[in-house]
């Protein structure tokens, strides 16, 4: 099955948000609960001004989300 792309250069373009430029990555969600890590994140936010923090493991057993 062939895929065909068509580009209409007469139409006005639209912006493409670079959300990843406003984000920093962290470790597991449980790590972010430690006060020393939270202090590092606050310092990085103050110095860099990121808007989003991403991490993984939100539903891991050590988070006690599901019992």
Residue 67 has pLDDT above 70, yes or no: no
Q: Does any domain span residue 33?
A: yes
Q: Does any domain span residue 10?
A: no
Q: What is the pTM of this model?
A: 0.64
Total count of domains within the chain: 1
Which residues are CB-neighbours of 66 under 8 A, at least 6 positions away?
A: 59
Q: Does any domain span residue 5?
A: no
Domain that holds residue 46: 19-63
Q: Tens of pLDDT along 9-64?
A: 999 998 998 988 999 988 898 998 899 999 999 999 999 999 999 999 888 888 88
Q: So what's the pLDDT on residue 65?
A: 79
Distance, CA of 27 to CA of 50 (rounded, Å): 16
């Amino acid at each position: 099955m062939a895929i065909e792309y068509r580009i209409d250069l007469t139409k006005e373009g639209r912006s493409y948000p670079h959300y990843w430029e406003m984000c920093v990555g962290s470790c597991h969600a449980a790590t972010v609960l430690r006060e020393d890590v939270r202090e590092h994140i606050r310092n990085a936010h103050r110095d860099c001004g990121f808007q989003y923090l991403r991490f993984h493991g939100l539903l891991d057993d050590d988070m006690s989300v599901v019992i």
